[in-house]
Amino acid sequence: MWKLEEAERHDPWLVSTNNFVGRHVWKFDPDLGTPEERAEVEKAREKFSQNRSHVKGSSDVLKNLQLIRENGIDLSIPSVRVGDREEISCEKAEIALRKAVRFTSALQAKDGHWPSEFSALLFLQPSLVRPDLRMHSVQIFNVKNIYKKFLKKIILKR
């Protein structure tokens, strides 16, 4: 079974110009995983083979399965469904926010980066980190508050 690992400097075949920050490698171990985990991986491989001509984006299912299992974050929050003409309450927005933040946290590697193709945070980053020119410092906002404000703006536009 394949396993994603953070790169380390003791591997003679890897070179890095930034001290291996955010660098990861895939390693194969034929004896890795429990029978349940192997069955889950095989199911994901079959699903990928069936859908590879329809889904053009990256299918990082193996990486996602591994990181969610390693991080141990509970992703059992139920999905929020909103009808076309239904009012979106702050409670529903908060549930959706919690689910999104937990999923994003579950896909984060131990060293702090998001391995492979993960561009979800790239469009949010400018609003999360803002230079404060008066104080000559950088203010990092609370992600939860940013998401709440973002969702409320979307709700008010409807």
- In three-state secondary structure terms, 138 is strand
> Which band of pLDDT confidence, cut at 50, 70 and 90, is reported for residue 39?
very high
Instruction: Report, as an integer, the average pLDDT of 20-34.
Output: 81
pLDDT of residue 138: 46
Instruction: Report, as an integer, the average pLDDT of 141-149.
Output: 61
Instruction: Report, as an integer, the average pLDDT of 50-60.
Output: 76
**Separation of alpha carbons 105 and 107, rounded Å:** 5
**Cα 126 off chain centre by:** 18
Rounded to 5°, angle at Cα 20 from 18 and 22: 100
Q: What sign does the CA torsion over 37, 41, 42, 44 have?
A: positive
Contact assessment for residue 57 and residue 79, using Cβ atoms and an 8 Å cutoff: no
Residues in the chain: 158
Per-residue pLDDT of 87-144, as tens digits, reads: 888 888 888 888 888 888 888 887 777 777 655 555 555 555 455 445 444 444 555 5
Q: What sign does the CA torsion over 82, 87, 88, 92 have?
A: negative
- In three-state secondary structure terms, 4 is strand
* Annotated domain spans of the chain: 2-157
Number of H helices, E strands in the chain: 5, 4
- In three-state secondary structure terms, 147 is helix
> Which band of pLDDT confidence, cut at 50, 70 and 90, is reported for residue 57?
low
